Structures are given as structure tokens and as C-alpha cells.
Amino acid sequence: MTRENFGELEDLIDLARSLGASRFCLYWLVPSGRGSDSYSRIQLGREEVTEALSLLYRKAQETDPGTMEFLTVESPQDCVHPIQSMERDGSPDLADARNLLKSLKGECSAGDRAANVDPLGNVSPCQFSHSLDFFIGNIRKRPFSALWTDSAHPVLARFREKPVHIGRKCGKCGYFEICGGGCRVRAYAKAGNFFSEDPFCFVDPDNSSL
């Protein structure tokens, strides 16, 4: 989702429901590949992100969960929005939602439960981490099993140890336990620092608690 199709979100959800789709999945823009070139021009701002998440929350409430699920990708911090919305609404499901998110231990799955292998055999932690800075190895030179279990590899180590190192805004955020610190690809693209904060996060850590 970008500034170019943000205004169509509700119509897209309604279309998906009318077609009987079982899942509505929203992908945010990541500064990766061709997304890097247009990122600053079409990435959404904080107000638009909050508006989109509010719309998803409302649509999810109007929808039988047995017929369609809603999810977003590439922004672990999105989980904060439904929690805050459920708090505001006094939802009876709030405790279960918190416990579920805590059991998942936050964090995106890149470099841990997810990997990307490109058409040339290059392995990286996720489908958005294309630059050489995220290069783990090539399956034509070394088996994937050997690459993935090499926990001393600096890229894998950084992804797997990141909760200990992420600082700045995330370091003082009360939602870190369920979010895990946002997207590392976005943080690195913005600051050149793997452990920096995700600049796409809409959460104000000074008013965050679980």
C-alpha cells in the first residue's frame, strides 16, 4: 500500500469480501529493490497508516472471522493498533489478544522462521533484504542447511540477537515485547544502522504500555 492506492483500500476490502476471499493481506512499502527508488515519494505517513489500520480493525469486526482473516506484512508494530483499539473499546478479548501476541514473542520472522532464496541462489533473511549487507551465502556454493545453521554468520547473528541490541525509540517502548522492534530492512535503509528504530513506526513510546 502506498500513497497511490491508499484511497482505494476500503473498496479493495469490500471487493475481496464480495468475491469470497478468505484472507485480506496488506503489504506496506519497504525500501528494497525498485521500492527504494520511489520510497520517499509514495510511502505513507503516520496519519495514513493509522487510518488504514483503523479501517482494517473496523472491517475485521464487521466480518465473520471464519470467512476472512485480515493481516498486514512488514510492520510488526501494527500489532499495537488492535491492542490499543481493544483497550479503547473495552473488548472482552483483550487479555487473550495480549497473551497471544506475547506468546509469539514479537519480532518479524526474518532470519529465523523465514528465509529468502533468490533466482540466483543467494540467501538472505527475508524477501525484502536484497542488498549485499544482508547476504548470507549462495546455495550453489554451500547447502542451505549449512548456511542457515551457521549461527556465527554476522547477518544471521544480527537478526537472531536483535532484541538485545535495538535501542533508541524502541529501547524505551512498552510494546517492545509484542513488536520486537519493527523492520530491520527499513531501519538499515534509513540510518545505515541495523539496530536503529524502524522509521515507519506510528507508535509514540512515551505513551506506550502493555
> Grid coordinates in use for 118?
533468490
For 24, the 3-state DSSP assignment is strand
Candidate residues 86, 173, 185, 189; the one interacting with ligand SF4 per rule CB under 6 A: 173
The region of 57-65, 119-127, 139-147, 199-207 touching ligand SF4 under the rule CB under 6 A is: 199-207
Q: Is 77 among the residues that bind ligand SF4 (CB under 6 A)?
A: yes
Q: Is 194 among the residues that bind ligand SF4 (CB under 6 A)?
A: no
The region of 14-22, 43-51, 148-156, 201-209 touching ligand SF4 under the rule CB under 6 A is: 201-209
Calculated CA dihedral for residues 200, 136, 155, 169, nearest 10 degrees: 0
Which ranges of the chain would DSSP assign to H, the alpha helix? 9-18, 34-42, 46-62, 80-89, 94-104, 144-148, 154-165, 168-171, 176-179, 184-191
Tell me, residue by residue from 15 to 54, as one string, x for binding to ligand SF4 by CB under 6 A and - for no binding. ----------------------------------------
Candidate residues 30, 80, 126, 185; the one interacting with ligand SF4 per rule CB under 6 A: 80
Which ranges of 80-183 would DSSP assign to H, the alpha helix? 80-89, 94-104, 144-148, 154-165, 168-171, 176-179
Q: Is 82 among the residues that bind ligand SF4 (CB under 6 A)?
A: no
Q: Is 181 among the residues that bind ligand SF4 (CB under 6 A)?
A: yes
Tracing cell 522509521 back to the chain, one arrives at: 199
Q: Is 197 among the residues that bind ligand SF4 (CB under 6 A)?
A: yes
